[in-house]
Amino acid sequence: MPEKIAVLPCDGAGKEVVPEAIKVLRAAGADFAFEEFDVNADAYLRTGHAITPEVWNDLQKADAILFGAVGDPRVNDAAYLAGVLLRLRFELDLYVNLRPAKLYDDRLSPIRREDRRQVDLLIVRENTEGIYVGLGGRFKKGTKDEVALQEDVNTHGGVTRIIEHAFAVAKREVVMVDKSNAMTHAGGLWQDRWKAVAAQHSNVKTRHLYVDAAAMQLVKDPTQFDVIVTGNLFGDILSDLTAELVGGMGVAPSANLNPATGRGLFEPVHGTAPDIAGQGIVNPTGAILSASMMVKHLGFPDMADAIEGAVESAIGARECTRDIGGNLSTSQAGDAVVKRLSD
């Protein structure tokens, strides 16, 4: 039985990069059944559903979800984003968000010191809790007395399982990032769980950083990091920073996983890119590398390595889009990777 891959390009740049990722997967020999679903702003405006019940049903049955990006200027409605991406993360319980940042070519680094450029790190972001859960409200809305509350939800189980996952994937060190000096309740729970889990992994080096110091260290010398584990919001912010250390948002991939159920959703980090979408110039690298993470997750590590190697080779030869120093279109950049896999 071929793996069933649910394809959700969704909106904007997502529609342009996901076909490139599929093209590359096919060239790499992935004999999967790809099924595309009509989840996008047009469907939302037409049906009133971010994801219709029928599509939701089908998504549950897929072995993996290949995702593009969600958002549209015509839909000025947080419910749409919450009803697609956040719903998938929460309801499929994809509690691990892996965001690797690896420098494939020296010219893509913004760091001046040559010896501090060779980044190869992984952010392990908690993906189902924190301030993303949407608990809170606005009281006396629109008046001068308005009060807005946004709760930061952290659970014993949620914090424990994400820290455990960080140790499961670390090679040399796990750095836990929080803001426990100011956010003492949530930070206190993170600290307690961190110490308890770390004590069971004395073979791996450990370090703790407050998030402000972590941001500073990531710019100063990102080569010091292997695995960073952190909460939902800090992981969101730091992973944009780390993307920029290796070539920008166009190259950053991610995997949203539940290691226990095997479910996974794979998406480039860049979003819909409304400023450049639709012109055939968006960078497909983040989507292609997300597809590589998908096949690794599905049990094809050699295929994943081949795709990553082909991406690295294409970037090295400047056969890539403008944002990373080439002059190819989105689909030509996809072809440059395909060519290397077919040789």
Per CB under 6 A, residues contacting ligand IPM are 81, 236, 269
- Give the span between the Cα atoms of 141 and 128, in whole angstroms: 27
**Residue in 105, 152, 226, 236 annotated catalytic:** 236
Cβ-based nearer residue to ligand IPM, 189 or 269: 269
> Residue 240 CB, nearest distance to ligand IPM (Å)?
7
Give phi and psi for 113, each to the nearest 5.
-80, 120
> Residue 208 CB, nearest distance to Mg ion (Å)?
23
> Residue 236 CB, nearest distance to ligand IPM (Å)?
4
> Residue 141 CB, nearest distance to ligand IPM (Å)?
22
Cβ-based nearer residue to ligand IPM, 81 or 168: 81
- Distance of CA 191 to CAs 19, 101, 176, 230, Å? 43, 25, 9, 11
Q: How many CA atoms within 13 Å lie on the side-chain side of 19?
A: 11
**Residue in 38, 120, 192, 240 annotated catalytic:** 240
Cβ-based nearer residue to Mg ion, 105 or 236: 236
Q: Residue 75 binds which entry of Mg ion, ligand IPM, none, with Cβ cut-offs from 5 to 8 Å by kind?
A: none
No. of helices (H) and no. of strands (E), the chain:
12, 12
By beta-carbon distance, which residue lies closest to ligand IPM?
Answer: 236
Q: Is 240 a catalytic residue?
A: yes
Q: Is 212 a catalytic residue?
A: yes
Burial grade of 217 (CB within 10 A; 0-12, 13-18, 19 or more) = middle
Of the candidate residues 20, 152, 236, 335, the single one contacting Mg ion (CB under 5 A): 236
Q: Is 102 a catalytic residue?
A: no
Question: Could you tell me which residues come within 8 angstroms of residue 261 by beta carbon, excluding any fewer than 6 positions away?
Answer: 92, 93
- Give the span between the Cα atoms of 151 and 298, in whole angstroms: 35
Q: Residue 43 binds which entry of ligand IPM, Mg ion, none, with Cβ cut-offs from 5 to 8 Å by kind?
A: none
**Residue in 179, 226, 296, 335 annotated catalytic:** 179
In one-letter notation, the amino acid at residue 126 is E
Q: Residue 288 binds which entry of ligand IPM, Mg ion, none, with Cβ cut-offs from 5 to 8 Å by kind?
A: none
Strand partners, 261: none
Q: Is 132 a catalytic residue?
A: yes
Q: Is 44 a catalytic residue?
A: no
Instruction: With both helix axes pointing from N to C terminus, report the angle between 285-297 and 301-316 in degrees, rounded to the nearest 10.
Output: 160
Q: Which two tokens stand for residue 50?
A: 């971010």
Residues marked as catalytic: 132, 179, 212, 236, 240
Binding site for Mg ion (CB under 5 A): 236
